Structure 1
Amino acid sequence: MKQSSIEESKPSPKISTSFIIIQVVALLLVTFIFMLSLELMASAFNLLGRNIIEEIIKATSNPFISLFIGLLSTAIVQSSSTTTSMIVAIVASGALTLESAVPMIMGANIGTTITSTIVSLGHIIDKKAFRKAFAVAILHDFFNILVTLILFPLEYYFGLLSSLSRVVTSQVFGIASGPSTLVKLTVKPLADIVTSLTNQNGLILLILSVFLLFFTIRYLTNLLKKLVIGESQKRMDKYVFGSPTGSLLWGAGLTAAIHSSSTTTSFIVQLVAADKLSIKKAFPFIMGANVGTTITALIASISKSEAALSIALAHVLFNVIGVFIFFPIPVIRQIPVYLARYLGSLTMKNRLVGLIYIILTFFLIPFILIYLSNDNSANSSQKPPIEKVK
């Protein structure tokens, strides 16, 4: 009996050193391709010419349209990391101003929550499990929506995030000069070679850069998920959620490590559905995941301009300010939890509510509002926020 118990308690075999070396080399190679894809994208927008740039500026000059473009594009690709990296590249190319990009970043934050919401639909057969899973998934939605409702007007009228990000950028831009020089010495020459091979065709270059960006983001997420979460996944529910502050930090750290809030929040959905974690305890982790996901845009901005770093920092500030609004005071922290539980209870009565919610929030309402905003902007002489904030 004693021997069998010892055998049962044996730890799982350790990962070999050669495996770790191979994975680290793969990680560095994919990161290099990631930086290359962003460099190619910036070059593509420069080659596409003035007309394309003018169309982008025209489409995003209305902050409401910019917000919903960010939401829709992220909901479609199911990755805020991909969308924000694209935004950084477009800002770096000069095709998009910081003020126009900030609402798009806000929309991307809302759009990325669709993945965990879709994951919750996997429990639709079991009513109780679905109620819990759906509630914690839309908790992520409500947090980002509420933060946007608070910060969007402040950005629109006072340029809060764009001004703050510029101030922070002016203080830290010099620190990024070292990594920036290294990237320019390694990535830019290869980007120039690829550009010449496409005969400086902007459209081909844009398609190639988007493909490489999708590939690297997906591969990075899967690779880092294996390295970071693999062995610790079984112990997470025991050690990660002991205190709200610890849960917040774990959420930020793990999400930054695997470059995907969709992955970490989807994992939380499964824990809540299995009744191993309460919605209340999951919320700080979700807030942390929102902060952690900003690391990808920061990496993407390293070799770019001050404007590119500013929009990446605006993404960080949006999520950090959101945490400061909802995390410190337990009563305020309960507001999104209450809303999520209420809608979760509605889905238990009628599971079609979940499907209708996804269609309305992530697709139908944004499309309608983009149409209405576009129509209003065509019949209004209201100035865009770029002219308001100086």
Structure 2
Amino acid sequence: MEGSTTQKQLNVVQFVLSISLALFVFLWSLDLMTSTFQVIGNETVIKVLSVTSNPFISLFIGLFITAVIQSSSTSTSLIVAIVASGGMALENAVPMIMGANMGTTLTSTIVSLTYITDNKEFKNAIATGVMHDFFNIMTVIILFPLEYYYHVLSKLSILVASIFNQSPNLNPTGQESRFGLFDYINGFLIDSVAYKAILVILACISLFASIKIISKIISKRMIGGSDDRFQEVFFNKRLKSFGLGTMLTAGIQSSSITTSIIVPLGATGKIHLGKIFPYIVGANIGTTITALIAAFNKSEAALSIALVHFLFNLIGTLIFLFIPYLNKLPILYSRKFGLMTAQYRVIGFFYILFVFFILPLALIFLNRL
């Protein structure tokens, strides 16, 4: 009995240390990527993100960039920095924030494709993976026209930011002075490495590796033999499931991870789609919290764009989680898409290529002609 207790304690310590190390690498790689982009990319990023004032193109630029780097936190932080520095108007940045929300859903969809060898699990996995996509797409369908014609999100975020009476207490670039452990490490790397593209590649590899490790560790922990009680406690009610998604994502700082680790539970049928959906919606809220808190130390413009990210997800949550009938639509269409993809495997691959890469690149390219 004593040996069993000791082994459990060792397993817990190992779990905590593994997660802590992977999270450290994850956060470090995000900081390195952002810092490097700020060094080599202030002008470059502004040119890329400001190629057009067309809100439709801005939407797909945000989608494409986030799909490539697979972190809405990173892409949103870059947009916040550019808006705070005056390189882009708030109204032009709002569609990019919407696109970033859509782009970050790619990871869970790709994870669902790994179940392609088992027809039943594949159907459930696809339905679980694309539910995050469909929630964000449906929210964009509602809010994008309201922003396009009436600037609803822009005006609302400015109003809320003004309530906090933010003052421009920053340097001219809109960035805070750098400090902390990551700053010393990344400052040394940036000063030492002549070719900054190497640092971007290093950050990308570290980012993806840490996401995979965290996903694997947490997924294994959640699907283990002692998992039934965990599911019973956290997924028996919508608000509990929503709260778990919110808190877990706020802690890990990546909805890509928290929505990906739920795919195995959906694939095996351990948790019903209707119970997973509130968790995914909560993850969308959780991913905005860190950036929102950080924005309070920046300018009013930075806070405004961070609030856009939060308000977009909050309004989508209110619509698709609490309004009768509408709260069934993402689940219904996800289930239908899962059935269709299970019958015709190529649909899943075509969906990813078309929505996240072909369509955004085609629109961006056509706009440059």
User: Could you tell me the TM-score, scaled by structure 2's length?
Assistant: 0.80
- How far the C-alpha of 1:283 sits from its partner, in A, is 0.6
Q: 1:21 to 1:11 in 2, by over 3 A?
A: closer
Match of 1:70 among 62, 65, 70: 62
The aligned counterpart of 1:186 is: 179
Match of 1:104 among 85, 91, 96: 96
SS at match of 1:125: coil
CA distance in 2, matches of 1:256, 1:40: 24
The aligned counterpart of 1:88 is: 80
- How far the C-alpha of 1:57 sits from its partner, in A, is 6.5
Structure number, greater radius of gyration: 1
Match of 1:149 among 119, 135, 141: 141
Match of 2:254 among 238, 254, 260: 260
SS at match of 2:51: helix
- How far the C-alpha of 1:109 sits from its partner, in A, is 0.8
SS at match of 2:8: coil
The alignment of Structure 1 onto Structure 2 pairs a total of residues equal to 360
- Paired residue type of 1:113: T
CA distance in 2, matches of 1:117, 1:196: 34
Deviations 1:337-387, CA, capped at 9 Å, x for gaps: 111111111112111111111111111222233344555xxxxxxxxxxxx
- Paired residue type of 2:260: S
Match of 1:291 among 279, 285, 293: 285
Query: Structure 1 unaligned runs (5+)?
Result: 178-182, 376-390
Deviations 1:304-350, CA, capped at 9 Å, x for gaps: 32212211111111101100111112421111111111111111211
Q: 1:151 to 1:72 in 2, by over 3 A?
A: same
Deviations 1:239-258, CA, capped at 9 Å, x for gaps: 21110111111111101111
- How far the C-alpha of 1:226 sits from its partner, in A, is 9.4
The aligned counterpart of 1:244 is: 238
CA distance in 2, matches of 1:214, 1:39: 13
- Higher mean alpha-carbon deviation, 234-243 vs 277-286, is at 234-243
- Paired residue type of 1:83: S
The aligned counterpart of 1:310 is: 304
CA distance in 1, matches of 2:114, 2:186: 45
- How far the C-alpha of 1:55 sits from its partner, in A, is 3.5
CA distance in 2, matches of 1:216, 1:170: 38
Q: Percent identity?
A: 42
- Paired residue type of 1:280: G
What is the CA RMSD across the aligned residues, in angstroms? 4.1
Q: 1:271 touches 1:277 (CA, 8 Å); kept in 2? A: yes
User: Could you tell me the TM-score, scaled by structure 1's length?
Assistant: 0.76
Q: 1:19 to 1:297 in 2, by over 3 A?
A: same
Q: 1:28 to 1:195 in 2, by over 3 A?
A: closer
The aligned counterpart of 2:9 is: 13
Query: Structure 2 unaligned runs (5+)?
Result: 170-175
